[in-house]
């Protein structure tokens, strides 16, 4: 379900297959003024958007709360089935992957995340999350887009990469440099196997202008990147992790490959759709959570095997949660506050933000206790180490989440 | 005329293949062998005049007339493909370049306008006035319904002026940043009040127009939009601004002040006749004898259309549209009102990859017909093939070491082209 | 000789003139082909078939069809013709005779499992004029240097018994035994063919296939599925669970059969007014219980037929027990497909205002599901859509035990769906539907139509208002669709146009009986009427011409000629039917293509 605004973003920015690696160059190209080559060992953020409004109460379940059980006669997760976390809360039984991450000390749950005056429209609420602004119509760019603009210099690799079937989200919209949006890593293959062309491109020119050298450098890089991607893609031995057969898992595998190959982007963004469970929620919600948990768990295993786990943090969010009471169609309707997941060796594991307070509702919905912008601020300041104030304004990072 | 724009004299530096090819490359799209030969035999004067033969940018052929039915289908991709196919087949490529130039200058996006017929209408307006005078162009654009929607001028009413259009008229269309004050924008906005549109037609809403006295850029009067346009154009900054834009498009990305001044002078003295000014630039010694290493990176449209025209490939509209879109230039949908920044920003190692892959698929496709080309241009030896390949790509005057290639002439042609079209030199115009 | 013509010569040899004199030897091609082929196709009496084809082309006038003329006048065809004519002339024939002789008395093409990654193949053609063939080969051999001074080049040939085998074209071998021309890419096969080992003709399976075919079959084929399944790629493809839900629910049953069937036999024969192609599998296990949804037992049969509908274009019929398939989804589909299917079901439930799609809809419809398409009559339409699509109708029989409540629920759900479409569409600037519930012939119906699109007039002027075919405003693709719903005689009807809904109800009402239980194997079928298809394309002529001009044609004239020629060619056909029966013991597929006897313009 799309909206004008969304299309606006996607059409103006998306569609191009852009990515670059800024790795150090062979000596013979030293004449070129090099753009700042990004730190190969820098930290990476992977954002997974849960589109449709994930039912937080059935994801992180307050299984001892009577009010919960009474409000959801058919949809409730019983205390036998819930996978226990802490503080009388547990995960939906289909999320064994996340339970494992929790047991390994990698999973942080931030509960009751939202914003004042909750908006229950998909488009508007998602825009709010994407722009980190309460009036998203006035915002020109997304919160991650602002980071991209701040950190990108011309010719340098893009700071963020959107890898998904869906269109480029507003969150990645920038004012200056377009963010690449691809469906799969195959977009980076070089069609011509003729290596003679490549070496001829790289041959030294006698008198070359700066622009010619700039172009040459890029041409050489493109070819090299393509070769590296191919190698990484074909090199089955590099990763022993097995991914389940889900689409999200396939994309995360490619992200792992790209990170492993030393590519430029610091932010990867993807999504999983289908959470708008107005009817027959029991049918689909579990399947979706299983896809999310199993895919992310496999991704984490892969990163661990590649020795990259300490460089990557994963964050999930959704545009809103869902109502406490189930509706007549055995589903739930749009709500407000909901949990976010953070997976990082640097984040303090456990449940933050407290348990959901089912006695103190606002219009029959959960009140938020944590403003999502403070979660963003924490991610920006403590993990990516960028200036969060320039992106979000005066929002202090939520305390107690990050160890650094 | 300024010393910088002294006319080129063929007697001093002969009008040969190298010069003709380079000239055509920079004033239109990458030329085909036919175009180069015609230019050489016609001589410089005739070639220069031919660029300006008709002020009308439209070819007025059947392909051109498809615009309306396509637009009414409300399919902007189809319209994009149509425009590109016109560019690929046009007999007046300079007009094509100019239309894209002005499209970028007035950067209006279908994403907000949401009407393919209105976008087409704006394109027609641009094509009508592309060769000047600039005043007529700006006046026509101010009434263009797509522009009105794009910059919210239908919200610009008496008592509650919306400054968006006035700001962009000064900042982006005529003067550039810093040549005006906020006060001028406020007053200028009042002049455009009531200029609205309904269903794709310009409508002057009398009741909403602010007839009062305004002070804009040092002049005072009961100005309306047309007056503000004229005042803006009369500013010294305007000529420099437009001169810089033209030079960035056709000469180099960072023209030096003297050159800008010379062209600005030309613009002023010709009352902003784009045609006259371009003739002066293109006819100048500086331009014709420009060093091969002209540092201007081709835009995706220039690149793709250049390839299909010079290799005489009959490309399908949809493929042209996809190729340019993937390279980062979606016609009718510029990223913002600032348009495409261009030059180095066209390239990073992914768009580079799209260009490289695009070139490979063009040469491999069955729409590229080496045998036909060889028989038409009598390319019967390896050297002839090599020379042709070089002429229609990077130009005969570029020194570039060619790798070994097969003896079979068709295969040789394909190999050479793949190499030359992938070379960094080819990315520069 | 240049490389091109060299290749052409040898490529053309099997295609070259074998003159039409009769010959004594009666061996069939299969008596040369070694046994053990995994697949084989035989063309019997090719000459006779060509005669019949030629006669039909003359009778029907199709050879005057413009498209045929284009092909014949095209430079490529002319070039080929010149080459072939050169050789044909030496045997004193025109191309028809040449082609007719190619196919000779009997041709068999067979494929064998290759030992190392490359399949082995063999073509055997029994000449009807051995002398002619011998002459031609001699000429070709001399020109290409395979024979020098009358003797075979020892470096590019060898002998097997009395026969000389030449190594040409590249990677292949050929040999003419005086009776049969044998071409193959495997030396082993060649030796066996020329030797006395068992031949394909004695293969039980091949013989059975030949026997199963009708006497006048022109082409007979067979494939050994068990052997083909040994090929890793094919095996993997058959074993893999479908990644998309809809294809999975369509072809899953056939895939299952192919996993266990022994072989498939096929034949092509002329029918009274056209051609008939049949394929059938033999052997194999019955469908397991998980796959019961692919062969429902409660399919019904209708009395009314879709070709009773005015401007009928096509029908697609699928017999599945969707409910059972949905319940078994984990066994039948891959993980992503299961996820997609479940998401789809919940989305539809949401759109239908909470009506449970799985239980209330899937659970209450019986097989078959039919999709009927008719050409719309747009003379009364306010806006002509561009392109013009046919009207679509989905027809599903409902269980006999459903109550009145279901009908109400359904109409409420339909209105809910239309509301959601309107809200959604509104945000994209699309005009909305106005829907109303009414009665037609006593049945309750829900019609919808577009609220007048605003400002089309202005847009025409904006666009320049040029080059119009009709004087009516033209709108985009979406004006083809106006959802309508009804239940008539226990059949659920969902259409994209009110006109089609009325026509359907007329047809159903004329028979006025509910569908009856069918007693036949599960049937999936596609039917197509060529005349209506041609009419539909003609409706869209302007569109098609524009597309052609954007694709390739330099001028409108050329584009129009090409489109008109294509549409005209369609009129030489009458109808096409492809039917697939899923039986307990296997699959049977039948395709029937009917032609018109003469050209009806």
Please give the average per-residue pLDDT across A156-182, as a whole number. 81
Using CA atoms, how far apart are residues C173 and C135, in angstroms rounded to an integer? 19
Cβ of C458 and B200 within 8 Å?
A: yes
The SS3 assignment for A44 reads: strand
Are the C-beta atoms of residues B418 and A192 closer than 8 Å to each other?
Answer: yes
| Nearest residue on chain A to B364, alpha-carbon basis | A192
Distance CA A6, CA A127 (A): 8
pLDDT at A346: 92
pLDDT at res. C98: 63
Chain B hits for C465, CB-CB cut-off 8 Å, are 68
**Which tokens hold the place of C153?**
């080049």
Q: How many residues does chain B have?
A: 429
Of C338, C349, C429, the CB nearest to A280: C349
What residues does C437 pair with on adjacent strands? C446
* Number of cross-chain residue pairs from A and C with Cβ atoms under 8 Å apart: 72
> What distance in Å separates residue B89's CA from the closest CA in chain A?
26
Query: In this predicted structure, what is the pLDDT of residue B243?
Result: 96
Distances (CA, A) of A341 to A160, A253, C419: 20, 19, 35
| Cβ distance of A219 and B399 shorter than 8 Å | no
Q: Cis check for the bond before B133: say yes or no (omega within 30 of 0).
A: yes
Class of domain A4-15+41-185+236-392: alpha beta
Q: Lowest-pLDDT range, A303-312, B43-52, B174-183, C47-56?
A: C47-56
Give the closest residue to C434 by CA, choosing from C496, C364, C482. C482
pTM for the structure as a whole: 0.82
Asked if the Cβ–Cβ distance from C468 to B70 is below 8 Å, we say no
Rg of chain B over all Cα atoms, to the nearest angstrom = 23
Q: Are C268 and C277 in contact (CB under 8 A)?
A: yes
Contact B345 A177 (CB under 8 A): yes
* Separation of alpha carbons C539 and A318, rounded Å: 47
Q: What burial class does residue C53 get, using C-beta atoms within 10 Å of its C-beta: 0-12 exposed, 13-18 middle, 19+ buried?
A: middle
**C280 neighbors C582 (Cβ within 8 angstroms):** no
pLDDT at C105: 84
Q: How far apart are the two ends of chain A, measured CA to CA in Å? A: 40
Under an 8 A CB cutoff, do C474 and B199 touch?
no
Structure tokens at C572: 């030489």
Cβ–Cβ < 8 Å for C486, C394: no
pLDDT in tens, A207-262: 778 888 888 888 887 787 777 777 766 665 456 678 998 999 999 998 998 888 77
Contacts B70 to C, Cβ<8 Å: 546
Alpha carbons A223 and C313: distance in angstroms, whole number = 51
Residues of B in contact with C467 (CB under 8 A): 65-66, 68-69
Residue of A nearest to C421 (CA): A1
pLDDT at B344: 83
Which of B65, B67, B68 should one mutate to test binding to chain C, selecting the residue with the greatest count of C CBs within 10 A?
Answer: B68
> According to the model, what pLDDT value does residue C473 have?
59
Taking the C-alpha atoms of residue C427 and residue A122, their distance in angstroms, rounded to an integer, is: 12
**By the CB < 8 Å criterion, does C339 face chain A?**
yes
B 379-408: CB under 8 A from C: none
CB–CB of A4 and C428 under 8 A? Answer: yes
Q: Measure CA C459 to chain center.
A: 41
Q: How many CB pairs under 8 A join A and B?
A: 135
More confident site: A305 or C60: A305
Decide if A331 and C350 are in contact by the 8 Å CB cutoff.
yes
Q: How confident is the model at residue A386 (pLDDT cuts 50, 70, 90)?
A: very high
Are C354 and A327 an interchain contact pair (Cβ–Cβ within 8 Å)?
yes
Mean pLDDT of successive 10-residue stretches along chain C, which has 601 residues: 40 38 60 89 83 80 77 78 70 64 81 79 85 77 82 86 85 86 89 88 87 89 89 86 91 90 91 90 87 89 90 95 92 91 89 86 91 92 85 94 87 91 76 89 92 62 50 70 92 94 94 82 93 94 91 86 90 92 86 75 40
Q: Write the DSSP symbol of residue A181.
A: E
Q: Does residue A179 belong to the interface with chain B, where contact is any CB pair within 8 Å?
A: no
User: Distance between CA B224 and CA B190 in Å, rounded?
Assistant: 8
Q: Answer yes or no: is pLDDT of B420 > 80.
A: yes
Contacts of C386 in chain B (CB under 8 A): 69, 72-73
Find, in chain B, the residue whose alpha carbon is nearest to that of A179. Answer: B328
DSSP class per residue in B61-127: SHHHHTHHHHHHTT-HHHHHHHHHHHHHH-S-HHHHHHHHHHHHHT---HHHH--HHHHHHHHHHHH
CA dihedral for B344, B346, B351, B352, sign (positive or negative): negative
Give the residue with greater pLDDT, B72 vs B232.
B232
Q: What is the pLDDT of residue B59?
A: 80
Per-residue pLDDT at C51: 81
* Contact criterion met (CB below 8 Å) for C233 and C114: no
Cβ-defined contact of B201 to C462 (cutoff 8 Å): yes
Confidence band for A32, pLDDT divided at 50, 70 and 90 = very low
Residue of C nearest to A281 (CA): C346
State whether A200 and B419 contact (CB < 8 Å).
Answer: yes
Chain B CB within 8 Å of residue A287 CB: no
**In chain A, which among 220-259 make CB contacts under 8 A with chain B?**
221-223, 225-226
* CA distance to A130, A322, A401, per residue, from A373 (Å): 10, 20, 14
Q: pLDDT-derived band of residue A190, with 50, 70 and 90 as boundaries?
A: confident
Render C114-128 in DSSP notation, one character per residue: -SSSSPEEEEEEE-S
Residue B124: list chain C partners with CB under 8 A.
464
Share of chain B above pLDDT 90, in %: 71
The Cα–Cα gap between B316 and C552 comes to 6
Q: What does the alpha-carbon distance between residue A201 and residue B401 come to, in Å, rounded to a whole number?
A: 10
Of A11, A218, A223, the CB nearest to B333: A11
Q: Name every residue whose Cβ is closer than 8 Å to that of residue C118 and which is 6 or more positions away in sequence.
A: C185
pLDDT tens-digit series, residues B54-106: 877 788 888 888 888 888 888 899 999 999 999 999 989 999 999 999 999 99
Q: Are B317 and C550 in contact (CB under 8 A)?
A: yes
Residue B212 has pLDDT above 60, yes or no: yes
Contact of A321 with A366, CB cutoff 8 Å: yes
Interchain contact, C354 vs A4, CB within 8 Å = no
* Chain B partners within 8 Å of A215 (Cβ): 297, 347, 352, 424, 427-428
The conformational region for residue A128 under phi > 0 = left, psi -120 to 50 = alpha, else beta, is alpha
**B-C contacts (CB, under 8 Å):** 95
Give dist(CA A107, CA A348) in Å, integer.
8
pLDDT at C157: 87
* Cβ atoms C209, C201 nearer than 8 A: no
Round the CA-based radius of gyration of chain A to a whole number and report it. 22
Positive or negative torsion for Cα B287, B289, B295, B299: positive
CA dist., res. A240 & res. C566, Å (int):
55
Nearest to B352 by CA among A174, A200, A149, A157: A157
Contacts of A235 (CB under 8 A, 6+ apart): none
Helix, strand or coil for residue C110? Answer: strand
Which residue among B348, B356, B399 sits closest to A20, beta carbon to beta carbon? B348
Residue among C203, C205, C172 at smallest CA distance from C189: C172
SS3 of residue C252 by DSSP: helix
Burial A251-277 (b: 16+ CB within 10 A, else e): bbbbbbbbbbbebbbbbbbbbbbbbbb
For residue range B316-363, what is the model confidence (pLDDT) as tens digits? 999 999 999 988 899 999 988 888 988 888 887 668 888 998 999 999
In chain A, pLDDT over 90 holds for what percent of residues? 54
Alpha-helical runs (H) found in A159-316: 195-202, 210-234, 247-260, 281-305
Chain B CB contacts of C464 under 8 Å are 67-68, 71, 120-121, 124
Taking a contact as any Cβ pair under 8 Å apart, which residues of chain A between 301 and 340 contact chain C?
327-331
Of C474, C552, C555, the CB nearest to B72: C474
Q: How far is CA B268 from CA B127, B239, B273, in A?
A: 22, 6, 9
Q: Alpha-carbon distance C252 to C287, whole Å?
A: 10
Contacts of A273 in chain C (CB under 8 A): 343
Contact C552 B124 (CB under 8 A): no
Measured CA to CA, the distance from residue C572 to residue C67 in angstroms comes to 12
Looking at chain C, which subunits does it touch, using at least 3 CB pairs closer than 8 Å as the criterion? A, B
Q: Closest to B65 (Cβ–Cβ): which among C467, C474, C475?
A: C467
What digits encode the pLDDT tens for the residues A124-148?
Answer: 999 999 999 999 888 878 999 999 9
Residue C147 contacts residue C159 (beta carbons within 8 Å): no
pLDDT score of C325: 93
Q: Which residues of C touch B73 (CB under 8 A)?
A: 386, 474, 476-477
Please report residues of C whose CB lies closer than 8 A to that of A322: none
The residue extents of the domains of chain A are 4-15+41-185+236-392
Interface test with A, best of C346, C347, C421 (most A CBs within 10 A): C346
Q: Which residue of C has its CA nearest to A280?
A: C346
Q: Between vectors from CA C474 to CA C473 and to CA C475, what angle results, nearest 5°?
A: 120
Output the pLDDT for position A140. 77
Which letter does DSSP use for residue B407 in this model? Answer: S
Q: How far apart are CA C408 and CA B399, in angstroms?
A: 80
DSSP B279-308: HHHHTBHHHHT--S----BPPHHHHHHHHH
Whole-number mean pLDDT of chain B? 91
Instruction: Give bridge partners of residue B45 from the DSSP assignment.
Output: none
Q: Which two tokens stand for residue B184?
A: 């001028």
Say yes or no to pLDDT of A280 above 80: yes
pLDDT confidence of residue B359: 92
Q: Which of A156, A175, A192 sits opposite B418 (nearest CB)?
A: A192
Find the helix or strand (DSSP H, E) in which C225 lies: helix C225-228
Nearest to B352 among A8, A209, A222 (CB): A222
């Amino acid at each position: 379900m799309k909206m004008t605004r969304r299309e606006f973003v996607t059409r103006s920015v998306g569609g191009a297959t852009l990515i670059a690696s800024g790795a150090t160059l062979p000596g013979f190209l030293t004449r070129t003024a090099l753009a700042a080559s990004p730190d190969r060992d820098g930290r990476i953020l992977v954002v997974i958007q849960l589109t449709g409004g994930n039912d937080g109460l059935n994801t992180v379940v307050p299984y001892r709360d009577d009010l919960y059980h009474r409000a959801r006669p058919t949809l409730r997760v019983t205390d036998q089935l819930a996978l226990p976390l802490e503080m009388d809360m547990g995960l939906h039984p289909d999320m064994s992957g996340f339970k494992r991450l929790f047991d390994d000390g990698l999973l942080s749950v931030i509960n009751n995340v939202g914003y004042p005056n909750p908006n229950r429209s998909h488009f508007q609420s998602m825009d709010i999350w994407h722009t980190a602004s309460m009036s998203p119509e006035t915002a020109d760019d997304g919160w991650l887009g602002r980071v991209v603009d701040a950190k990108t210099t011309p010719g340098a690799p893009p700071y963020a990469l959107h890898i998904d079937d869906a269109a480029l989200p507003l969150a990645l919209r920038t004012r200056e440099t377009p963010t690449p949006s691809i469906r799969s890593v195959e977009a980076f293959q070089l069609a011509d196997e003729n290596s003679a062309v490549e070496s001829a491109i790289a041959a030294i020119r006698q008198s070359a202008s700066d622009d010619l050298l700039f172009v040459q450098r890029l041409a050489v890089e493109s070819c090299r990147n393509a070769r590296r991607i191919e190698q990484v893609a074909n090199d089955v031995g590099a990763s022993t992790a097995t991914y389940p057969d889900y689409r999200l898992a396939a994309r995360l595998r490619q992200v792992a490959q790209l990170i492993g190959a030393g590519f430029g982007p610091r932010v990867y963004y993807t999504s999983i759709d289908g959470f708008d469970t107005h009817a027959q929620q029991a049918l689909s919600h579990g399947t979706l959570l299983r896809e999310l948990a199993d895919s992310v768990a496999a991704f984490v295993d892969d990163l661990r095997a590649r020795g990259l786990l300490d460089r990557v943090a994963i964050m999930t969010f959704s545009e809103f949660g869902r109502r406490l009471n189930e509706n007549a169609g055995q589903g739930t309707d749009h709500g407000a506050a909901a949990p976010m997941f953070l997976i990082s060796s640097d984040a303090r594991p456990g449940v933050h933000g407290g348990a959901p307070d089912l006695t103190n509702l606002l219009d029959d919905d959960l009140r938020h206790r944590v403003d999502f912008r403070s979660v963003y601020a924490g991610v920006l300041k403590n993990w990516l180490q960028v200036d969060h104030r320039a992106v979000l304004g005066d929002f202090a990072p939520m305390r107690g989440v990050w160890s650094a | 005329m300024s010393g910088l724009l002294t006319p080129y004299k063929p007697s001093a530096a002969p009008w040969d293949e190298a010069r003709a090819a380079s000239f055509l490359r920079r004033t239109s799209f990458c030329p085909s062998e036919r175009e180069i030969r015609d230019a050489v035999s016609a001589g410089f004067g005739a070639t220069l005049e031919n660029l300006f033969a008709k002020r009308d940018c439209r070819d007025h052929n059947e392909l051109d007339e498809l615009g309306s039915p396509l637009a009414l289908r409300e399919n902007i991709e189809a319209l994009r493909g149509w425009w590109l196919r016109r560019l690929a087949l046009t007999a007046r490529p300079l007009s094509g370049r100019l239309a894209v130039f002005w499209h970028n200058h007035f950067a209006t996006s279908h994403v907000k306008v949401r009407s393919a017929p209105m976008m087409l209408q704006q394109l027609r307006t641009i094509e009508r006035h592309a060769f000047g005078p600039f005043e007529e162009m700006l006046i026509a654009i101010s009434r263009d319904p797509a522009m009105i929607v794009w910059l919210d001028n239908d919200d610009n009413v008496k008592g509650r002026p919306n400054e968006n259009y006035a700001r962009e008229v000064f900042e982006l269309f005529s003067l550039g940043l810093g040549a005006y004050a906020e006060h001028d924008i406020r007053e200028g906005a009042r002049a455009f009040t009531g200029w609205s549109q309904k269903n794709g037609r310009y409508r002057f809403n009398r009741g909403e127009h602010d007839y009062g006295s305004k002070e804009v850029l040092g002049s005072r009067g009961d100005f309306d939009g047309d007056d503000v346009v004229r005042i803006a154009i009369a500013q010294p900054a305007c000529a420099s601004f437009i001169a810089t834009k033209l030079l960035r498009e056709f000469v180099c990305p960072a023209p030096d002040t003297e050159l800008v001044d010379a062209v600005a002078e030309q613009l002023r003295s010709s009352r902003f006749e784009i045609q006259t000014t371009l003739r002066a630039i293109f006819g100048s010694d500086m331009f014709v004898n420009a060093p091969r290493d002209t540092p201007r990176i081709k835009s995706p449209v220039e690149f793709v259309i250049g390839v299909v025209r010079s290799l005489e490939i009959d490309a399908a509209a949809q493929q042209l549209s996809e190729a340019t879109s993937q390279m980062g230039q979606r016609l009718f949908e510029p990223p913002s009102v600032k348009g495409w920044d261009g030059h180095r920003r066209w390239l990073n190692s992914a768009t580079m990859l799209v260009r490289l892959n695009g070139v490979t698929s063009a040469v491999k496709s069955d729409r590229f017909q080496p045998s036909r080309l060889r028989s038409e241009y009598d390319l019967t030896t390896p050297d002839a093939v090599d020379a042709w390949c070089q002429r229609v790509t990077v130009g005969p005057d570029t020194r570039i070491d060619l790798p070994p290639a097969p003896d079979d002439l068709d295969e040789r042609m394909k190999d050479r082209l793949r190499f030359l079209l992938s070379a960094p030199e080819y990315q520069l115009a | 000789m240049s490389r091109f013509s060299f290749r052409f010569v040898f490529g053309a040899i099997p295609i070259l003139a074998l003159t039409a004199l009769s010959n004594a030897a009666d061996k069939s091609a299969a008596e040369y082909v070694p046994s053990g082929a995994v697949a084989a196709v035989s063309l019997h009496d090719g000459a006779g078939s060509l005669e019949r084809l030629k006669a039909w082309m003359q009778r029907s006038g199709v050879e005057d069809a413009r498209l045929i003329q284009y092909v014949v006048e095209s430079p490529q065809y002319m070039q080929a013709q010149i080459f072939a004519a050169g050789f044909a002339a030496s045997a004193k024939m025109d191309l028809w005779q040449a082609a007719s002789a190619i196919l000779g008395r009997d041709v068999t093409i067979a494929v064998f499992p290759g030992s190392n990654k490359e399949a082995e193949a063999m073509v055997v053609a029994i000449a009807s004029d051995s002398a002619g063939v011998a002459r031609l080969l001699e000429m070709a051999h001399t020109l290409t240097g395979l024979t020098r001074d009358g003797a075979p080049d020892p470096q590019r040939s060898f002998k097997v018994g009395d026969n000389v085998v030449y190594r040409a074209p590249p990677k292949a071998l050929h040999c003419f035994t005086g009776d049969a021309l044998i071409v193959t890419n495997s030396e082993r096969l060649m030796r066996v063919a020329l030797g006395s080992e068992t031949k394909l003709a004695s293969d039980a399976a091949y013989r059975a296939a030949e026997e199963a075919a009708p006497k006048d079959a022109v082409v007979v084929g067979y494939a050994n599925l068990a052997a083909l399944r040994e090929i890793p790629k094919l095996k993997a493809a058959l074993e893999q669970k479908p990644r998309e839900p809809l294809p999975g629910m369509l072809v899953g049953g056939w895939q299952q059969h192919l996993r266990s069937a022994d072989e498939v036999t096929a034949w092509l024969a002329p029918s009274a007014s056209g051609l008939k192609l049949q394929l059938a599998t033999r052997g194999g296990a019955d469908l397991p219980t998980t796959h019961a949804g692919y062969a429902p037992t409660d399919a019904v049969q209708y009395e009314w037929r879709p070709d009773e509908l005015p401007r009928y274009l096509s029908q697609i019929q699928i017999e599945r027990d969707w409910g059972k398939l949905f319940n078994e989804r984990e066994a039948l589909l891959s993980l992503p497909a299961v996820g997609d299917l479940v998401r789809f079901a919940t989305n539809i439930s949401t759109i239908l205002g909470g009506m449970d799609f799985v239980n209330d809809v899937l659970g209450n419809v019986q097989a078959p599901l039919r999709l009927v398409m008719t050409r719309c009559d747009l003379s009364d339409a306010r806006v002509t859509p561009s392109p013009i699509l046919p009207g679509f109708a989905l027809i599903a029989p409902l269980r006999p035990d459903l109550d009145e409540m279901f009908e109400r629920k359904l109409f409420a759900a339909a209105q809910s769906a239309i509301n959601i479409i309107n809200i959604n569409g509104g945000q994209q600037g699309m005009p909305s539907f106005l829907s109303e519930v009414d009665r037609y012939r006593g049945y309750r119906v829900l019609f919808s139509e577009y609220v007048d699109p605003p400002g089309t007039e202005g847009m025409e002027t904006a666009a320049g208002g040029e080059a119009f075919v009709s004087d009516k405003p033209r709108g985009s693709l979406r004006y083809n669709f106006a959802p309508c719903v009804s239940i008539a005689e226990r059949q659920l009807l969902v259409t994209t146009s009110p006109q089609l809904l009325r026509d359907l109800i007329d047809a159903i009402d004329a028979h006025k009986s509910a569908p009856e239980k069918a007693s036949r194997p599960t049937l999936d079928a596609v039917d197509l009427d060529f005349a209506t298809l041609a009419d539909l394309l003609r409706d869209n002529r302007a569109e098609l011409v524009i597309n052609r001009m954007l694709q390739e044609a330099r001028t409108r004239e050329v584009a129009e000629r090409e489109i008109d020629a294509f549409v005209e060619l369609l009129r030489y056909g009458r109808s096409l039917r492809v039917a697939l029966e899923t039986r307990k013991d296997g699959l049977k597929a039948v395709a029937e293509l009917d032609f018109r006897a003469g050209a009806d313009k």
